[in-house]
Amino acid sequence: MRDRQGQSLVEYILLVTAVTVVVVLFTTGKGKGSFQNTLNQVFNQTTQDMLNASTYLQQNAAN
């Protein structure tokens, strides 16, 4: 049982490290522009979709 707990701890540490590295790479350095552009596109598209949905609902509520 003790070996399994040690393995779980190592796996957790590796996962946290990997996530941290990915976040750092995408928010600083070379990946920054690409990540920010993609994120902005997602936010802009989501905002536009929400506006379209609210307009659609307002038009259909009036009918």
Predicted structure pTM score: 0.48
Rg (CA), the chain: 22
pLDDT tens by residue, 4-61: 666 788 889 899 999 988 877 777 766 567 777 887 898 999 999 999 999 888 888 8
Secondary-structure breakdown of the chain: helix, strand, coil percentages, each rounded to the nearest 5: 95, 0, 5
Look up residue 15 and give its amino acid: L
In angstroms, how far apart are the furthest CA atoms of the chain? Answer: 67
Q: Which domain holds residue 28?
A: 2-62
pLDDT of residue 1: 47
Look up residue 23 and give its amino acid: V
Number of domains in the chain: 1
